[in-house]
Structure 1
Amino acid sequence: MADPNPIRNVSDTALWVAVYRAMETERSDALFRDPFARRLAGERGQAIVDAMPRGKSMSWPMVVRTAVMDEIVMRCVQQGARTVLNLAAGLDARPYRLPLPRALRWLHVDLPDMVEYFSERMRDETPHCELEFIAADMRDADARRDVFTRASAHGPVLVITEGLLVYLEPAQVADLAAALHDIANARWWLMDLGSPMLLKLLEKRWQPRLSQGNAPFRFAPAEGTGFFAPFGWREAEFRSTWDESFRLHRTMPGGWLWKLLSRLQPARKREAGRRMSGIVLLEAEASP
């Protein structure tokens, strides 16, 4: 673990985020409990956090993202979701840690190596719902069509792309958006979404190490959720990471001071700051 940049590829970022879930779980006032996170992250996950600039102090947006997505997942399930299609699922242990109904169908999709790593470490655990592991490369059009067709068989479908889109090119996201609407027939799409302002902020802090590890940040549309409208999606809910960090008491160091100073800014600039990063729920428009 002496490598100055232990991130080897995009899949390693799942180890990184798992450490943040472990850190939150170990708090006495934890927002959620993921008892599997430390085991899943392993030594490499901790090495990544230690190597990243301000690695530990920057846990807050990932913790907020996890907590808010947990809330939205549970609400969509209560509203009738029968299948969850979790793309680039990484080390997401929600089927094991959330009180999901037994009849819910959860498709855990990722690259073969990642699926093998996760399933091997969770082999002695029992999920709360019907969990299916699917090893597939979503960059392959045929594989994508097969998985999405399989998901559409038991709707309504909720799609999760937590921590995925930022690593894709806009054209790849456009293809994904069209396929999720037209082939998977998904009703909801849960994602995290950043703005160009966020990418610019992270360029100096994290981008060099991520690029060296073949995991550069790429997708942050200037039009925000409007990017998805041509593919049949509308914004149903936008939860600002900044606002949610105060609601959940997991804001950045010095966040309260920044919040006070923001009141001096014009309303348009404050709103841009709110939407710099968020957890988004899209809903499918009916096909014409």
Structure 2
Amino acid sequence: MSSGERPELGEVPETALWTLWYRAVEARRPDAVLHDPKAVELVDRIDFPFADRFGTSGTQAQLQALRASCFDREVADFLDREPRGTVVSLGEGLETQYWRVDNGRARWLGVDLPEAVALRERLLPPGPRRRHLAADATDLSWADEVDHSRAVLISAQGLLMYLPPMQVRALIAGCAERLPGATFLLDAVPRWFSHLTLTGRMRSHAYQPPPMPWAMDADERGKLRTAGPAVAAVRDVRPTGGRGLVGALLPLALAVPPFATRRPSVVALEFSAR
């Protein structure tokens, strides 16, 4: 345990420490599938019993890193097409994606609850192109802070599963209406995983993740188009690479039922332009 920042976060905001820790665990490896030196730096600065609380599972670390890599790939592709675009990160927590994929010209807006933003600003102060907004992501007033003259990508990594299903639909529909032409990236846990969290039977070492009321099996992603008429397209974003047994089994998990349909998923939604 370090002698640095001591975070005191609620149940859902604390998940930011969980994902940060496992990105750092993976990034410390010489054969890491995700290079994230900023995550390693943060873990070393934060006074928190990460290993005692969350464990040190190499498999968990690699899976977290592969999920983050899906988001990184999509954001990097977006910035290749729209170098001066805006990336909006909903429920940003202690995500360090900016340091992994920023192109030096894009604008970044992080939206999170006040306690999470307060911690982030102490650890990762905003910069000329990177702002933080203390707000509930489901309150779409944050969209007023987005420059509508620029292309927009909205990232909701590790957020939607903690919301009621109707709030998820309302958030997607609201973003599609208020930010036409934008891309919306999200991830979803499968229904069996959600059920375990709702019944208190999901544990990771000494940590019990919060309930995750919204879930979606991978073959249900087409239903996201029904969230609103401005949702024009839905695309599956699949992890690539992997190391050891995870790397060997990943192609099977993506192609062979029932694993292919009951796996976690990352999805890109495209909103129609007015």
Shorter-chain TM-score: which interval? 0.7 to 0.9
Contact 2:9 2:116 in 1 (8 A): no
Is residue 87–residue 107 contact of structure 2 (8 Å, CA) maintained in 1? yes
Counterpart of 2:86? 83
Task: Report SS of the residue matched to 2:19.
Answer: helix
Q: Tell me, what secondary structure is at the counterpart of 1:72?
A: helix
Corresponding letter in the other structure for 1:75: D
Instruction: Give secondary structure in 2 for the equivalent of 1:91.
Output: coil
User: Any gaps of 5 or more consecutive residues in structure 1?
Assistant: none
Q: Does 1:224 align with 2:220?
A: yes
Q: Does 1:273 align with 2:259?
A: yes
TM-score after normalising by structure 2: 0.80
1:107 and 1:250 map into 2 onto residues whose CA distance is 36
CA contact (8 A) 2:242 2:248 kept: no
Deviations for 1:40-69, whole angstroms, at most 9, x for unmatched residues? Answer: 34324434313xxx8554223211111221
Measured at CA, do residues 165 and 186 of structure 1 come closer, stay the same or move farther in structure 2, by a change above 3 Å?
farther
CA contact (8 A) 2:180 2:272 kept: no
Q: Secondary structure at the match of 1:38?
A: helix
> Could you state the TM-score of these two structures normalised by the residue count of structure 1?
0.76
* Partner residue, 1:191: 186
Deviation per CA, 1:171-225: give whole Å up to 9, x if none.
Answer: 11011011110113352111112321343466633399546xxx21111135722
Q: Tell me the secondary structure at the aligned position of residue 274 of structure 1.
A: coil
Match of 2:270 in 1: 283
CA distance in 2, matches of 1:175, 1:257: 36
Partner of 2:242: 248
* RMSD value, Cα: 3.2
Secondary structure class of the residue paired with 1:273: coil
How far does residue 154 in structure 1 lie from its aligned partner after superposition? 3.5
One-letter code aligned to 2:51 = Q
Equivalent-residue separation in structure 1 for 2:213 and 2:17 (angstroms): 20
Instruction: Write the letter of the residue equivalent to 1:32.
Output: L
Q: Which residue of 235, 238, 247 corresponds with 2:236?
A: 238
Moved more, 108-117 or 193-202: 193-202
Please tell me whether the aligned partners of residues 195 and 221 of structure 1 are also in contact (alpha carbons under 8 angstroms). yes
Equivalent residues in 2 for 1:150-189 (5 A)?
150-189=145-184
Q: Tell me the equivalent position of 1:118.
A: 120
Distance in 1, Cα, partners of 2:250 & 2:40? 32
Shift of 1:20: 0.9
Q: How many residues align?
A: 257
Tell me, yes or no, if the aligned pair for 1:85 and 1:106 is still in contact at 8 Å. Answer: yes
User: Any conservation in 2 of the 1:236–1:282 contact (CA below 8 Å)?
Assistant: yes
After the TM superposition, list the runs of 4 or more consecutive aligned residues in structure 1 that deviate by more than 4 angstroms.
200-203, 255-260
Identity of aligned residues (%): 25
Can you list the C-alpha shifts for 1:80-100, whole angstroms capped at 9, x where unaligned?
A: 2611110000111222232x2
Flag the 1:205–1:56 CA change in 2: closer, same or farther, 3 A: farther
Structure 2 unaligned spans of 5+? 2-7
